[in-house]
Chain A
Amino acid sequence: MDFAELVRGFPELTTTGLVQGAIYALIALGYTLVYGVLRLINFAHSEVFMIGTFGAIWTWAAFGLDSNSGAPSVGRSLLLIALAIVAAALLSGSVALLIEVTAYRPLRRRNAPPLAFLITAIGASYALMELMGTLTQRRQVGSPALLPADTLFSIGGWSVTPVQMLTLSVAILMMVGLDWFVNRTRFGKGIRAVAQDANTAALMGVNKSRVIALVFVLGGLMAGVAAVFSDMKSGNTRYNIGFLLGLKAFSAAVLGGIGNLRGAAIGGVLLGLVENYGSALFGSQWRDLIAFVVLIVLLMFRPTGLLGESLGRARA
């Protein structure tokens, strides 16, 4: 127990924890959206994220940037990041849609038992991971340095780098946007209706298939955005990166109450923070343990997560 370390590093731990938490939260949204509508743990979502990380790096490579090239000017960097976000989000969204169409829809047509979906998810996960492993020769791929690494601004002992600032603001923007989309638009109404009662919604004229496809695409978009920031944060990616991050993000979704959008956001950020504080306190080799301890302890006391399950249901 190293309290001195925790107190001394508190500002920095909080910032990096928030950034990591924002990435978890964006991935967690994908799990929670699909779960809220289909009651299905989309195990292949981690690979959707993984492919997004490569999408971003490939985009940068198309502009001649790799891990050895120097940082371009700030304006050009921002443009490149925006491009990478669009490319990664589109790529992840289409992979998510592909998974839904090939692995889940045929099973749903046949009214398969819930556990069968788990197996196709595992199958899709293996296939995507190994495909990327082969394509990248199972090597770690570095991402270029884009924004300067020095401090953007600091208040007291609290300093923030440009990458952190960008990650947090874009993540908040995405989450607010998604919340607005689900709660305020016509498409969102369709999603909530299907989440509440799929068959009744279908009878009321909601196109169930299209809503489900939309949910997968939305989750994929979020994962793609998370992927870009994950690349910039860690500076590299690998074909098996999705596994641990996906697991943590899924834990975050459960922590906040799976099926609940705001819950996933809160759960993600909370997990990022707790992990950082915990690893300062107990040593960084216990980082991964902390996430699961928190999760299990919380589920003992609040079996449906912090905010409870609700995507469609009115909050009781």
Chain B
Amino acid sequence: MTAVRERWHSASSAIGRRVDGLPKSARITGLLAFIAFLYILPNKWFYEYLNIPGVWIPLYTTRNDMAAVLFYCAWIVLLSLGLNVVVGYAGLLDLGFFGFFAVGAYTVALLTSPESKLITEYNWLESPWPWLVTVPIAIALALLSGVLLGAPTLRLRGDYLAIVTLGFAEMIRIIAKNQDWILNGDRGIPQVGHPPGNYPDGTAIFQFEFKPYYWLLLTVIIGAVFLIRNLANSRVGRAWVAIREDEDAAELMGVPTFRFKLWAFAIGAAVGGLSGTLWAGQANFVNSSTFSLENSILVLAAVLLGGAGSIGGAILGGFLVIYIPEWLRSVGDVFGLPETATVFGNDFDVSPTSLRYFIFGILLIIVMIFRPQGLWPNRRRAAELKDRQKEVAVVE
């Protein structure tokens, strides 16, 4: 086992070294080609062409429209990019990330839906606002709620912060589920506005089809990656690293730790809110069921699976946690696996669709055992971990 592990480690770092060794122009060309690939990917003619029958297992999903799967992947990728700032850079364990997503989604829904009670009952608004106008408002509100939640709680450390953020997200969800004054309880808010834009023939681009939303999300993600990358390389990013490595030492060196932690929290919240606006625009309907704790945990799993503190890792992780279970749905079709098994006269649903999260759970454990630092870790963090491993473990 050790030998396999060693070989994998050396192979993955060899790829890293080789990519580093390439001239800058080649690296940028490669990146642009990859981005172009991502834009073409949701087209049926393209992804079906990629698959050579009889040679490869089809990598596209047969049970669900590939564009829809890619949209959900991109959605979780954007969320994991936001959570990566909080968990990966600043080292704050936030289990309630979907709370901010909810703030963003509900803001858009309330302001853009003609069914919103702000219009039908309270007459605060004359008519629904366009989607685009509400996006900055939603982001600002999510950011504000991040600051409001962070200010009293960020003095707590580690696991206590985790439980408080978890409690906060559950509170938002339960309030949204039960109260009827504005958010319509479980019935939710229908007819949420779509992003603007028309095709040349006059039909709207953003209706219910997934493909345009995927492209929009992809564009937003590229922008977010650029911003977060620059932020991580700035004074703020260095302060986050210092806090993550040793909070007390950072404070002693004159880093205002509380303020920078609040920054990380607020930026993460803003990205969460942004993701909420895009999601609400596509889904056309918002109620409390999307904000369940399971989803917060899924995003956290994405960040840590990919490798906390690394942008590439967050993207990879976010993609995998949606794509693997979706792809497992189609595995049965590919191999002609049985759908049910009869044991002692009882029928059990053993289709990969039903077992996909079971398999996913086992995969999570296996990946973490072999790569505890994540699939694509930040180099600095990987080095921190190597130091840990060198520390003498006395007796097991």
Which of B304, B347, B373 has the largest number of chain A CB atoms within 10 A?
B304
A133 and B357 alpha carbons, distance in the complex (Å): 10
Is A254 within 8 A of B372, CB to CB?
no
Contacts of B396 in A (CB 8 A): 108-109, 208-209
Nearest-Cβ distance from residue A166 to partner chain B, whole angstroms: 31
A216 contact set on B, CB distance < 8 A:
none
Q: Is A41 in contact with B159, judged by CB distance below 8 angstroms?
A: yes
Q: Please, how many angstroms separate the alpha-carbon atoms of A107 and B174 in the complex?
A: 36
Which has the most chain B C-beta neighbours within 10 Å: A113, A125, A133, A286? A113
For B368, what are the chain A residues with a Cβ–Cβ distance below 8 Å?
107, 112, 116, 119-120, 123
B17 at the interface (CB under 8 A from A): no
Known: A112-B372, A251-B167, A303-B156. A126 touches B360 (CB 8 A): yes
Judge if B308 is at the interface, Cβ distance under 8 Å: yes
A43 to chain B, nearest CB (A): 8
Are A286 and B372 in contact (CB-based, < 8 A)? no
A10 in contact (CB, < 8 A)? no
In the assembled complex, the CB of B44 is this many whole angstroms from the nearest CB of chain A, namely 31
CB of B385 closer than 8 Å to a CB of A: yes
Q: Which residues of B contact A129 (CB under 8 A)?
A: 357
List, in ascending order, chain B residues with CB within 8 A of A137's CB: 346-349
B219, CB-defined interface residue at 8 Å: no
B395-A208 in contact (CB<8A)? yes
Kindly report which residue of chain B lies nearest to residue A35, judged by CB atoms: B159
Q: Which residues on the B side are within 8 Å of A130 (C-beta)?
A: 354-358, 361
| B365 CB within 8 Å of chain A | yes
Distance, CA A51 to CA B301, complexed state (A) = 23
Does B372 lie within 8 Å of A116, measured CB to CB?
Answer: yes
A90-119 CB contacts (< 8 Å) to partner B:
102-103, 106-113, 115-116, 118-119
**Cβ of B171 and Cβ of A293 under 8 Å apart?**
yes
Judge whether B120 is part of the interface by a CB distance below 8 angstroms.
no
CB-CB under 8 A from A119, the residues of chain B are 301, 304-305, 364, 368
How distant is the Cα of A294 from the Cα of B350 in the complex, in angstroms? 42
* Structural contact, B160 and A303, CB atoms closer than 8 A: yes
Chain B residues, CB < 8 A from A293: 167, 171
For residue A199, CB closer than 8 A to chain B, the reply is yes
Q: Which residue of A lies closest to B161 (CB)?
A: A299
B11 within 8 A of A: no
Separation of A116 and B303 alpha carbons in the complex (Å): 11
CB distance from A202 to the nearest CB of B (A): 4
* Tier of interface size on chain A: 35 or more
B178 at the interface (CB under 8 A from A): yes
Q: Mark A287-308, 1 if CB is under 8 A from B, else 0.
A: 0110011011001100110000
Q: Is the CB of A296 within 8 A of B168?
A: yes
Is B394 on the interface with A (CB-CB < 8 A)? yes
* Cβ-based interface call for B297 (8 A): yes
Chain B residues closer than 8 Å to A106, beta-carbon distance: 369
Residues of B within 8 A of A303 (CB): 155-156, 160
Chain A nearest CB, measured from B24 CB (Å): 32
The A contact surface, by secondary structure, is helix
Q: Which of A120, A134, A288 contacts B365 (CB 8 A)?
A: A120
Q: A107-B372, A286-B174 are in contact. Are A296 and B167 (CB under 8 A)?
A: yes
Query: Do B358 and A254 touch across chains, with their CB atoms under 8 A apart?
Result: no
Answer whether A254 and B160 are a contact pair too, CB < 8 Å, given A112-B372, A116-B372, A203-B394: yes
A253-272, CB < 8 A from B: 254, 258
Which of chain B's residues have a CB closer than 8 A to the CB of A125? 361
- Can you list, as one digit per residue, whether each of B170-185 has a CB less than 8 Å from chain A (1) or not (0)? 1100110110000000
With both beta carbons as reference points, the residue of chain A lying nearest to B93 in the complex is identified as A115
Give the residue name and chain of the A residue nearest to B302 (CB).
A119
Contact between chains at A124 and B365 (CB < 8 Å): yes
Q: Which residues of B contact A258 (CB under 8 A)?
A: 159
- A68 at the B interface (CB under 8 A): no
* A286 partner residues in chain B, CB cutoff 8 A: 174, 178
CB interface residues, B 336-366, toward A, < 8 Å = 346-350, 354-358, 360-365
Shortest C-beta distance, B187 to chain A (Å), equals 14
CB of B391 within 8 Å of the partner chain: yes
Contact B385 A113 (CB under 8 A): yes
Give per-residue flags for A131-174: 1 if the beta carbon is below 8 A from chain B beta carbons, else 0: 10111010000000000000000000000000000000000000
**Does B300 reach chain A (CB closer than 8 Å)?**
yes
**Nearest chain-B residue to A289 (Cβ)?**
B174
How distant is the Cα of A175 from the Cα of B164 in the complex, in angstroms?
Answer: 27
Looking at the assembled complex, report how far the CB atom of B252 sits from the nearest CB atom of chain A, in whole angstroms: 21
Docked pose: A125 CA to B170 CA in angstroms:
19
Is A49 positioned at the interface, with any CB of B under 8 Å from its CB?
A: no
- Cβ B167 vs Cβ A123 within 8 A: no
Residue among B368, B395, B396 having the largest count of chain A Cβ atoms under 10 Å: B368
B171 touches A127 (CB 8 A): no
Q: Is the CB of A127 within 8 A of B300?
A: no
CB-CB under 8 A for A299 and B162, given A113-B372, A123-B364, A203-B394: no
- Cα–Cα, bound, A251→B346 (Å): 38
- Most chain B C-beta atoms within 10 Å of own C-beta, residue among A116, A126, A134, A285: A126
Complex Cα spacing A112 to B305, Å: 13
Query: What string of 1s and 0s marks CB contacts (under 8 Å) between A167-195 and chain B?
Result: 00000000000000000000000000000
10 A-B pairs with C-beta separation under 8 A: A107-B372, A113-B373, A123-B361, A125-B361, A128-B361, A134-B355, A247-B166, A292-B167, A296-B164, A303-B155
With A108-B396, A113-B385 given, name 12 new contacts (CB 8 A): A113-B388, A120-B365, A120-B369, A122-B300, A122-B364, A127-B361, A130-B355, A203-B394, A247-B293, A254-B163, A289-B175, A299-B160
Binding site for B on A (CB under 8 A): 35, 39, 41, 102-103, 106-113, 115-116, 118-120, 122-131, 133-135, 137, 199, 202-203, 208-209, 243, 247, 250-251, 254, 258, 285-286, 288-289, 292-293, 295-296, 299-300, 303-304
Q: Which residues of B contact A (CB under 8 A)?
A: 87, 93, 152-153, 155-156, 159-160, 162-164, 166-168, 170-171, 174-175, 177-178, 293-294, 297, 300-301, 304-305, 308, 346-350, 354-358, 360-365, 368-369, 372-373, 385, 388-389, 391, 393-396
